[in-house]
C-alpha cells in the first residue's frame, strides 16, 4: 500500500516536470522578457534605497540604526519575490487556463491536475529563485549584507513565492475576466507600500499594525530583513510557519479547483 | 445628335474628402463608447493608487525626511516635493498603458483600424482620434488626482494649478504618441513587458519624482535630463508650488514635450500608413 502511494507520488513529480520543461522552452525564445524580470527590484533599490535614502538617516532594526539602503534592500527582495509569484500564478495561469487551453491539452495526456498545480508552482519557484539569487548577489556586492545568514534569504524568497503563488493560483481559478484582476492590483499596491517595506510600521495604531503583521508580504519582509542584517528573532520563526501553511493550503485548494474546472 | 447619351459618372474622381475635424468628429461615438464601457476599472485605480502613494511616501516616509531636516530644497515638505512627481508619473503611466495593447490590438487582434481605413477615414484621422481618446483618459484621471490633492494645500495658486494640469496633457500626448508609434511598428506583443519594465519603471524612478536628480551624482544627473518625464516634473513642480522658473528653462521643457509629441504623432501616421495601405 505504502509502496503504491510512494510510486504515485513519484509519478506526480515526474509528470509535473514536463510542464516545467514546457515553460523553459517557451522562455528560451523570450530571453529578454525573462531577464527584465530581474530589473525591477534593482531600479527600486537604486531609486528609493539610495536616491531617497540620501535624505533619511536610517531606521532601527533590533536596536541598531542601519542605513536606509540596508533597510530597504531586503524588503525589495521580498517584494519582488511576491510580485514575480503573483504574475506567474495569476495573469499567466489565467491566460493558459482560458485562452491557450494549455491545461486541457495536458490533461489529455497521462498528466493530472496535481501535475498542473505542482508543475506551475515549481516553475514559479525556479524563476523566482533565479531572480532572488541575482538580487542577493547584487546586495552582497554593494555591501548591504551583514551576515552569512543572508544565504537563508534565498529559501525565504522561495517560501514567499510558494505562499503567494499558491494562493494566487487558487484565486485565479475564480477569475471571470481580465477586469477581475483589478482586485489583485488593489491587494498588491497597499501591501507593497505598507508592509514595512519603506518604513517601520511601529507608529501605526495597534489594529492596523496587527492587520499588516498578518499579511504574507510583511512576514516575508521581516524574515528577509532579519536574515540579511543577521539579527533573527522569534518573528522569523512565525514567518516561516505562516508562509509554509499558506503555501500548502493554496496549492491544495488550487488543485481541487483545477479538478472542478478541468475534469468535465 | 442633340440628345447625347448621358455620360456615365466618372468614377475615377472621388468627391473631396471631408475635413480633418469632421473626420475626427465621426469617430467620437466609437471612442466615447469605449471610454464609457471601461472607465469604471480605471477610476478606482486613478483615485486609490495616488492616495496610497501620497499616504505612504508623502505622509509617512515624508515625516521621517522632514524630521531629519534633510528634505529636498525649495519644497515646504517632502509631500510638496513628490506631489508633482506622482501626478506626472500617473499621466505617463496611463498614456503608455493605453497606447500599448489597445493600439496593437486594434491592428492585430480585433482589426478595428483595418475596418476604419476601409471607410473615407484617413490614417492621419485614425491616429489623431486614437491619441485624443487617450488624452481624454489622461485628463480625467489627472483631474481626479489633482482634486484629491487639493485638501493638502499643495497648490500655490489657481492659475499655476491649471497650467500644471495643462503640462500633464502635453506629457500625456508626448508619451501616447511615441508609444503609439512603437505599438504600430512592433510585430509582436512580447516587447510591451519590456516597455513597462525597461522604459516606464526607470523613467518613473529616476526622473526626479521621489528625490532631486542631483542625488544621483553628476553623470547620472546628466542622463536623467534626457528623460521627458523629468522635463514635465520640473515644469509641474514649479507651477504647483509657485517657485520661479527661468523662462529659458520653461521654454526648453515645453519644447521637448511638444517636439516629442509631434515626432511620435508623425511617426505613428507614417508607420500605420505603411502597415495598413501598402
Q: Are B117 and B22 in contact (CB under 8 A)?
A: no
Give the Cβ contact number of residue B122 at 10 Å: 17
Three-state SS sequence of B46-109: HHHHHHHHHHHHHHHHHHHHHHHCCCCCCCCCHHHHHHHHHHHHHHHHHHHHHHCHHHHHHHHC
pLDDT over threshold 70, residue B161? yes
| A44 contacts B193? CB cut-off 8 A | no
Lowest mean pLDDT among A19-28, A89-98, B6-15, B264-273: B6-15
Please state the separation of Cα A172 from the chain's center in Å: 15
State the residue for C-alpha cell 504600430.
Answer: B184
CB B137 within 8 A of CB B143: no
Is the CA virtual torsion B173, B179, B184, B185 positive or negative? positive
* Cβ-based contacts under 8 A for chains A and B: 85
Percent of residues, chain B, with pLDDT higher than 90 = 70
Taking phi over 0 as left and psi of -120 to 50 as alpha, with beta for the rest, A129 belongs to: alpha
Strand partners, A66: A59
Partner A contacted by B78 (CB < 8 A): yes
Question: Residues with Cβ < 8 Å from A243, sequence gap 6 or more?
Answer: A159, A160, A162, A163, A216, A219, A220, A223
Distance from CA of B202 to the nearest CA of A (A): 6
Distance from C-alpha of A82 to C-alpha of A219, rounded to nearest angstrom: 11
Chain A: which residues have CB within 8 Å of chain B?
30, 32-33, 36-37, 39-40, 43-44, 46-48, 50-52, 54-57, 179, 182, 185-186, 189-190, 193-194, 198-199, 203
Mutate to test the interface with B, among A52, A87, A200 (most CBs of B within 10 A): A52
Q: Read off the DSSP letter of residue B1.
A: -
Q: How far apart are CA A246 and CA A239, in angstroms?
A: 10
For A66-84, write each residue's pLDDT tens digit.
Answer: 999 999 999 999 999 998 8
Q: How far apart are the first and last CA of chain A?
A: 29
Check B61 against A36: CB less than 8 A apart: no
Nearest Cα neighbor of B194 from A86, A41, A189, A38 is: A38
**Neighboring chain B residues of A36 at a CB cutoff of 8 Å:** 193-194, 197-198
Please count the residues of chain B.
278
- Return the residue in A35, A55, A221 with the most chain B beta carbons within 10 A, the one to mutate for interface testing: A55
Q: Which residues contact A85 (CB under 8 A, 6 or more apart)?
A: A124, A128, A160, A161, A162, A164, A165, A168
pLDDT score for B50: 82
pLDDT at A12: 58
Q: Which of A46, A52, A190 sits opposite B52 (nearest CB)?
A: A190
Cα–Cα distance between A93 and A105 in angstroms, integer? 14
Kindly state the cell numbers that stand for A211.
492587520
Among B residues 198-217, those touching chain A with beta carbons less than 8 Å apart = 198, 201-202, 205-206, 210-211, 215-216
Report the pLDDT averaged over residues B56-67. Answer: 93
Q: Identify the weakest region by mean pLDDT among A4-8, A122-126, B140-144, B193-197.
A: A4-8
CA distance A263 to chain B (A): 30
Compute the distance between CA of residue A110 and CA of residue A26 in angstroms, rounded to an integer.
21
Q: How far apart are CA A112 and CA A184, in angstroms?
A: 27
Share of chain A residues as helix, strand and coil, in percent rounded to the nearest 5: 80, 0, 20
3-state secondary structure of B165: helix
Q: Do B190 and A43 touch (CB under 8 A)?
A: no
Question: What's the confidence (pLDDT) of residue A61?
Answer: 86
The yes-or-no verdict on residue B119 having pLDDT over 70 is yes
Would you call B211 and A51 a contact, using CB atoms and an 8 Å cutoff?
Answer: yes
- Lowest-confidence region among A256-260, B29-33, B172-176: A256-260
Residue A64 phi/psi, 5-degree rounding, is -110, 140
Q: What does the pLDDT read at residue B15?
A: 72
Across the interface, whether the CB atoms of B48 and A186 are under 8 A apart is answered: yes
B15 in reach of chain A (CB within 8 A): no
What mean pLDDT comes out for the span B132-136? 95
SS3 assignment for A129-186: HHHHHHHHHHHHHCCCCCCHHHHHHHHHHHHHHHHHHHHHHHHHCCCCCHHHHHHHHH
Cell numbers given for B193: 513587458
pLDDT category, B207, cuts 50, 70, 90? Answer: very high
Question: From the CA of A39, how many Å to the nearest CA of chain B?
Answer: 7
Average pLDDT, chain B: 90
Which of chain A's residues have a Cβ under 8 Å away from the Cβ of B44?
182, 186
Contact A52 B193 (CB under 8 A): no
- In the block, which residue shows the cell 498578518? A214
Q: What residues of A are in contact with residue B49 (Cβ under 8 Å)?
A: 189
Residue-level pLDDT at B7 = 61
- Predicted confidence (pLDDT) per residue in B240-258, tens digit: 999 999 999 999 999 999 9
| Mutation for A interface: B37, B38, B201, most A CBs within 10 A | B201
A256 vs B5, more confident: A256
What pLDDT does B225 receive? 94
The neighbouring-strand residues paired with A60 are A65
For B126, list phi and psi in degrees, rounded to 5.
Answer: -60, -50
pLDDT at B4: 58
CA distance B228 to B208: 11
Residues in chain A, overall count: 264
Residue A260 burial class via C-beta count within 10 angstroms: exposed 0-12, middle 13-18, buried 19 and up: exposed
Measured between CB atoms, which of B61, B198, B206 is closest to A36? B198
For the segment A91-96, the average pLDDT, to the nearest whole number, is: 86
Chain B nearest-CA residue for A185: B45
Q: How many CA atoms lie within 13 A of A191 on its CB side?
A: 23
- pLDDT of A134 reads 92
Which of B269, B272, B230 shows the shortest CA–CA distance to B252? B230
Amino acid at each position: 500500500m505504502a509502496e503504491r502511494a510512494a510510486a504515485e507520488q513519484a509519478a506526480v513529480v515526474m509528470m509535473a516536470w514536463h510542464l516545467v520543461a514546457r515553460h523553459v522552452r517557451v522562455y528560451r525564445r523570450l530571453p529578454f522578457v525573462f531577464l527584465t524580470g530581474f530589473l525591477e527590484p534593482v531600479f527600486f533599490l537604486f531609486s528609493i534605497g539610495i536616491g531617497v535614502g540620501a535624505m533619511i538617516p536610517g531606521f532601527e532594526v533590533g536596536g541598531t540604526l542601519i542605513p536606509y539602503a540596508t533597510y530597504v534592500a531586503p524588503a525589495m527582495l521580498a517584494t519582488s519575490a511576491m510580485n514575480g509569484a503573483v504574475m506567474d500564478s495569476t495573469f499567466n495561469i489565467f491566460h493558459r487556463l482560458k485562452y491557450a487551453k494549455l491545461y486541457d491539452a495536458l490533461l489529455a495526456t497521462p498528466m493530472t491536475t496535481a501535475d498542473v498545480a505542482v508543475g506551475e508552482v515549481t516553475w514559479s519557484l525556479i524563476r523566482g529563485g533565479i531572480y532572488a539569487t541575482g538580487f542577493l548577489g547584487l546586495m552582497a556586492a554593494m555591501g548591504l549584507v551583514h551576515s552569512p545568514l543572508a544565504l537563508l534569504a534565498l529559501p525565504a524568497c522561495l517560501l514567499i513565492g510558494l505562499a503567494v503563488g499558491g494562493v494566487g493560483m487558487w484565486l485565479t481559478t475564480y477569475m471571470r475576466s481580465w477586469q477581475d484582476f483589478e482586485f489583485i492590483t488593489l491587494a498588491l499596491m497597499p501591501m507593497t507600500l505598507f508592509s514595512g517595506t519603506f518604513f517601520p510600521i511601529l507608529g501605526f495604531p495597534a489594529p492596523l499594525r496587527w492587520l499588516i503583521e498578518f499579511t504574507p508580504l510583511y512576514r516575508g519582509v521581516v524574515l528577509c530583513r532579519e536574515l540579511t542584517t543577521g539579527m533573527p528573532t522569534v518573528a522569523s520563526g512565525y514567518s516561516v510557519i505562516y508562509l509554509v501553511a499558506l503555501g500548502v493550503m493554496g496549492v491544495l485548494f488550487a488543485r481541487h479547483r483545477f479538478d472542478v474546472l478541468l475534469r468535465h | 445628335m442633340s440628345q447625347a447619351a448621358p455620360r456615365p459618372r466618372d468614377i475615377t474622381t472621388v468627391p473631396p474628402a471631408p475635413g480633418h475635424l469632421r473626420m475626427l468628429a465621426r469617430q467620437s461615438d466609437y471612442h466615447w463608447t469605449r471610454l464609457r464601457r471601461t472607465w469604471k476599472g480605471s477610476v478606482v485605480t486613478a483615485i486609490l493608487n495616488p492616495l496610497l502613494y501620497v499616504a505612504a511616501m508623502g505622509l509617512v516616509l515624508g515625516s521621517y525626511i522632514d524630521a531629519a531636516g534633510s528634505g529636498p530644497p525649495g519644497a515646504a515638505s517632502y509631500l510638496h516635493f513628490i506631489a508633482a512627481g506622482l501626478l506626472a508619473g500617473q499621466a505617463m503611466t496611463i498614456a503608455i498603458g493605453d497606447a500599448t495593447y489597445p493600439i496593437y490590438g486594434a491592428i492585430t487582434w480585433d482589426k478595428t483600424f483595418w475596418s476604419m481605413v476601409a471607410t473615407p477615414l484617413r490614417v492621419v484621422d485614425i491616429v489623431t482620434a486614437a491619441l485624443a481618446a487617450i488624452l481624454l483618459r489622461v485628463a480625467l484621471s489627472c483631474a481626479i488626482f489633482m482634486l484629491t490633492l487639493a485638501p493638502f494645500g499643495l497648490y500655490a495658486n489657481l492659475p499655476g494649478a491649471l497650467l500644471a494640469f495643462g503640462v500633464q496633457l502635453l506629457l500625456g500626448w508626448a508619451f501616447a504618441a511615441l508609444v503609439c508609434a512603437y505599438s504600430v511598428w512592433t510585430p509582436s506583443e512580447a516587447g510591451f513587458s519590456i516597455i513597462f519594465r525597461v522604459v516606464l519603471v526607470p523613467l518613473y524612478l529616476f526622473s526626479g519624482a521621489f528625490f532631486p536628480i542631483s542625488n544621483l551624482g553628476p553623470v547620472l544627473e546628466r542622463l536623467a535630463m534626457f528623460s521627458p518625464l523629468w522635463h514635465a516634473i520640473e515644469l509641474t513642480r514649479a507651477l504647483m508650488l509657485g517657485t520661479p522658473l527661468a523662462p529659458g528653462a520653461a521654454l526648453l521643457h515645453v519644447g521637448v514635450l511638444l517636439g516629442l509629441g509631434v515626432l511620435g504623432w508623425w511617426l505613428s501616421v507614417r508607420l500605420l500608413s505603411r502597415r495598413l495601405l501598402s
